[in-house]
Structure 1
Amino acid sequence: MFRSSSSLGGAPSTYFQRSSLPANTIVKFVPQQTAWIVERMGRFNRILNPGLAILVPVIDRIAYVKSLKENAMEIPSQSAITADNVTLELDGVLYTRVFDAFKASYGVEDADYAISQLAQTTMRSEIGQLTLDHVLKERAALNTNITQAINEAAADWGIRCLRYEIRDIHAPGPVVEAMHRQVTAERSKRAEILESEGQRQSAINIAEGRKQSVILASEAIKAEQINSASGEAEAIMLKARATATGIDAVARSISEGKQAAQGAVSLSVAEKYVEAFGKLAKEGTSVVVPGNVGDIGGMIATALSVYGNVSKSQAQTMGQKIITDGQGQNQGPQSAAIEAVAGGQDGAVDSKEQIAKSVLESFDRTKARH
């Protein structure tokens, strides 16, 4: 790797190996992608392009041979300290190309050595501005910054740096172990977060399901109650219509039958009154009865008085209705309506007395037979 330069005058030892220079044999063939620097009597004369070249013996000398191909140089491993005081061992590869053979020959003593040293110092400077985490994450940006810095300094050397790649980064053992623990802790944290998020989402889903279930159940109960209430209301309406129809039929029968129908109603009321007293002793041990329970006739008369009071109330209601309907008409129709109502009341009282008398006579005849 190390040897002395073969150039005239004996240059100091260089870091990079350099091939020997071709001898002057008058006729030379320059290889493709190669530039030969010819000096005449120690002074730059010309650059030989690929192909046939004629040299003057003794006077002309091939002083430098420059390859115009892209060259890959290995940057030796070196130490660098990051912004958070972590010592790293880094090595890399530098890709360069000679674009001006004259500057590459006379602008710097050893272009390869200069480029290598510049790459190392630039890499240390760039890494010193970053922390360890950023060095590991921003290798591409680090390579770009190093390449740009080398090109700015090597422009006068006739060499262009195409790219720089950090090959290996070696951190101290304790730092690597701490990084591993950090990665493990970070992954454990993410796993716990994901697990807790899953449990949270599961609880939310279960609560939403229960909420929807309760809502649907309440809606079902509401619909059931509405339907039940509608049915009960319809049943009540039907019963009321049936009762009204029955009452109308009874009223028409009483109206058409007159005294005979009224007597039958009075007898039915009296029978139910007597029957109700007969059931009192069967339904309980304590019986509350009126003081004249031994007077059957009085009981029947009381039952008939109930009917009479009802008839009297109905007659008053009918009379009031007739008076109301007759407002706005002459006095003659109103007087006639009032007399009709009064006559109806007197007729109802007389009918009640006749029915009571006939019921008592029937009861006496039955008692005499037994």
Structure 2
Amino acid sequence: MLPFDVGTVLAIGFALAVIIVIFKTARIVPQRTNFVVERLGRYSRTLESGFHILIPFIDKVAYQHTLKEEVIDVERQACVTKDNIQVGINGVLYIQVVDAHKASYGINNYRYAASQLAQTTMRSVIGQTDLDKTFEERARINEVVVQALDEAAAPWGIKVLRYEISDIELPMSIKDALEQQMRAERERRAAIAKSEGERQSMINVSEGHKQEVINLSEAEKQKQINEAEGRAQEIELIAQATSEGLRKIAAAIQEPGGKDAVSLRVAEQYVGEFGKLAKETNTLILPAQLADIGSAVAGLTEVLNTAKSR
């Protein structure tokens, strides 16, 4: 029974030893990862992604670094601006390992070092900037911090990609002052917009009145032109009708019995007009030869004959 137990123990021990040797010998490096190998305590080589064989109990994977972009939350820190206002600033730092050897032996903890360096650099940059500019020039501040960090972190084998200010906390008194300032600015803009609107409204109304007066004057002018043209055409038509009537009368007089008709017409008008004198006024003007109407008619007939002879 004892030999079987010893053999079993030896088999188990041998299997464990084989497993340990395999584990120590064969290593698989994931994608975007670097392993730093030390041989007997000294740097040997850097393993990239893939399958690798190590010498058991001599080679050792001392450090493992991801080559992916890392995000580091930079804790809130108190900064004093150029105009002596204390603000609290949170930030986010983006870094990437580009040299696993330097990241392993250049510094003890590159993440903590980058975070602390970001805080000190931010305090320095904010100390050279006024409070108003910290809100207006965030992009410039981020660029300055990234440039300073990248230069300092180069020996550590890391690349500082970008830095973003996530939050700026102001004292309550400064917040109240800024709110009052913004409220006053909004009220000023509202008053200006209202006055501009009223001014434009008055201009529009005056332009409307002006255009109305112009339209009325143009309409009156056109009306007068139309009336004048109408009167001119009326006078022309009356003259043409009168002329045509006179020509027809003259032609009718030359017909047989025309003169007698003219004499009769003149006598009728003479008697008719004479009868109106007594109706229109109390003063009665009598002709010198009231009974001799024929002589008057004969005189008018003589005038017609004279006009014809001419």
- TM-score band, normalised by shorter chain: 0.5 to 0.7
1:278 and 2:275 matched: yes
Q: Give the corresponding residue for 1:296.
A: 290
Separation (CA, whole Å) in 2 of partners of 1:227 and 1:217: 15
Checking the alignment, whether the CA contact within 8 Å between 2:36 and 2:101 is kept in structure 1 is no
Contact 2:34 2:100 in 1 (8 A): no
Question: Helix, strand or coil: the match of 1:164?
Answer: strand
Moved more, 143-152 or 67-76: 67-76
Deviates more, 1:76-85 or 1:214-223: 214-223
Unaligned residue ranges in structure 2 (runs of 5+):
1-19
Q: Which amino acid aligns with 1:177?
A: D
Render the CA deviation track for 1:146-182: whole Å, top value 9, x for unaligned. 2233112221221111222212201122222232233
Q: 1:265 aligns with which of 262, 265, 272?
A: 262
Letter in 1 for 2:66: L
Decide whether the 8 Å contact of 2:79 with 2:126 is kept in 1: yes
Residue 35 of structure 1 aligns with which residue? 35
Deviation at 1:100, TM superposition (A): 1.8
1:78 matches 2:77 = yes
Say if 1:274 and 1:300, in contact at 8 Å, map to a contact too.
Answer: no
Aligned twin of 1:100 = 99
Match of 1:68? Answer: 66
Greater relative CO, 1 or 2 (CA 8 Å, sep 6+): 2
CA contact (8 A) 1:92 1:166 kept: yes
Residue by residue over 1:47-103, the C-alpha shift from the partner in whole angstroms, topping out at 9 and shown as x without a partner, is 46375544657xx888x6353354433323223344555432112122223222332
Query: Residue 123 of structure 1 aligns with which residue?
Result: 122
Structure 1 CA distance for aligned equivalents of residues 223 and 202 of structure 2: 31
The change in CA–CA distance for 1:46 and 1:117 in structure 2 (over 3 A counts) is same
**Are 2:94 and 2:160, in contact at CA under 8 Å, matched by a contact in 1?**
yes
Seen in structure 2, the aligned counterparts of structure 1 residues 40 and 284 have a Cα distance that, compared at 3 Å, is farther
Q: Which structure has the bigger radius of gyration? A: 1
Deviations 1:237-273 (A, max 9, x none): 443333223212221232334xx64455345435534
Q: In 2, are the aligned partners of 1:89 and 1:171 still within 8 Å (CA)?
A: yes
Q: How has the CA–CA distance of structure 1 residues 242 and 125 changed in structure 2, closer, same or farther, with 3 Å as cutoff?
A: same
Aligned partner of 1:104: which letter? A
Corresponding residue number in structure 2 for 1:328: none
CA contact (8 A) 1:68 1:99 kept: no
Counterpart residue type for residue 94 of structure 1:
L
1:182 aligns with: 181
- In structure 1, runs of 5+ residues without a counterpart are 1-24, 320-370
Identity, in percent, stands at: 41
With normalisation by structure 2, the TM-score equals 0.68
SS at match of 1:256: coil
Alpha-carbon distance between aligned partners in 2 of 1:30 and 1:245, rounded to the nearest angstrom = 129
The one-letter code sitting in structure 2 at the alignment partner of 1:296 is L
Q: Is the counterpart of residue 245 in structure 1 residue 244 in structure 2?
A: yes
The 1-side partners of 2:60 and 2:258 are apart by 161
Q: What residue in structure 1 maps to residue 44 of structure 2?
A: 46
The two structures have a TM-score, normalised by structure 1, of 0.59
Evaluate the alpha carbon distance shift between residue 261 and residue 167 of structure 1 in structure 2; reply closer, same or farther with a 3 A threshold: closer
Out of 151-160 and 99-108, give the one that drifted further. 99-108
**Which residue of structure 2 lines up, in the alignment, with residue 350 of structure 1?**
none
Identify if the C-alpha distance between structure 1 residues 244 and 89 changes in structure 2 by more than 3 Å, giving closer, same or farther: same
Write out per-residue CA displacement over residues 185-217 of structure 1, whole angstroms, 9 at most, x where no aligned residue.
343344445445555555565566666666666
Which residue of the partner structure matches residue 254 of structure 2? 255
1:1-370 matches, within 5 Å, as: 28=24, 32=30, 33-36=33-36, 38=38, 40=40, 44-47=42-45, 49=47, 53-54=54-55, 65-69=63-67, 70-108=69-107, 110-196=109-195, 198-199=197-198, 228-257=227-256, 261-262=258-259, 264-266=261-263, 268-285=265-282, 287=283, 289=285, 293=287, 295-297=289-291, 305=299, 308=302, 312=306, 314=307, 319=310
How far did residue 117 of structure 1 move? 3.4
Q: Work out whether residues 270 and 304 of structure 1, in 8 Å CA contact, stay in contact via their aligned partners in 2.
A: no
Aligned length: 282
Change (3 A) 1:125 1:311: farther
Q: Secondary structure at the match of 1:296?
A: coil
